[in-house]
Chains A and B, each alone.
Chain A
Amino acid sequence: GDSVTQMEGPVTLSEEAFLTINCTYTATGYPSLFWYVQYPGEGLQLLLKATKADDKGSNKGFEATYRKETTSFHLEKGSVQVSDSAVYFCALRMDSNYQLIWGAGTKLIIKP
């Protein structure tokens, strides 16, 4: 079945470091791909999305490119801040399915 695999956390970085959180997917068709972020004590919120191959989603300095050839949607940011500390979820959604398929989440800790 369709699935999403994320790198295990926690990922611990110093402020201003470069961030990559890996996400790969398995799907029988052409999904839409999403990154959601969950700040401590809050619900999830959409960070960015891409709906077709080679699309790049971006928001708040984060970027992710939909790579069909490697079935990946890695999240990147050039210079992280302490306020980026959160749990990040990669997800996909197929036309044939109403629901989002979620990755396990990656906890990001940024130290000053």
Chain B
Amino acid sequence: DTAVSQTPKYLVTQMGNDKSIKCEQNLGHDTMYWYKQDSKKFLKIMFSYNNKELIINETVPNRFSPKSPDKAHLNLHINSLELGDSAVYFCASSQGTVTTYEQYFGPGTRLTVT
């Protein structure tokens, strides 16, 4: 069974389009995250939800909007895509916000904006 799944795995689109990435976890976790990984493998936290409440909202363009319909899902919608949005986006989840709990990552969505 897949613990953290993301769809789609690859997304190729043109500048100016709007796209969504979906994430689901079946681990029963109550905290979920979105990360952006650039071409140099640098990881940047974007958002985090705990029990459907936004708890981390880093400095990202407001073209990015997360939505958490329930504890098992965290989607990422991106408006007016730009070339610089090309990256791999990872969803992750953890049980609560206790520091010792590890985060479980999805396989990533490689977004290419042309």
Contact = CB atoms under 8 A, between A and B. Distances in A.
Interface stretch (A15-23, A64-72, A74-82, A93-101): A93-101
B86 interface: no
Q: Which of B56, B97, B100, B107 has its CB near the most chain A CB atoms (within 10 A)?
A: B100
Contacts, number: 55
Nearest to A52: B100
Contacts of B106: 43
A107 B99 contact: no
How many of chain B's residues touch chain A, expressed as a range?
A: 20 to 34
Contact of B42 (A93, A99, A104): A104
Given A44-B90, A44-B105, A45-B105, A98 B97 contact: yes
B45 interface: yes
Given A89-B43, A105-B41, A105-B42, A98 B108 contact: no
15 contacts: A34-B102, A38-B41, A43-B108, A44-B90, A44-B105, A46-B104, A49-B100, A51-B100, A98-B48, A98-B55, A98-B56, A99-B56, A102-B45, A105-B42, A105-B43
Given A42-B107, A51-B100, A105-B43, 20 more contacts: A31-B99, A34-B102, A42-B108, A43-B90, A43-B92, A43-B107, A44-B43, A44-B90, A44-B92, A44-B105, A46-B102, A46-B103, A49-B102, A93-B100, A98-B48, A98-B50, A99-B45, A99-B56, A100-B103, A102-B43
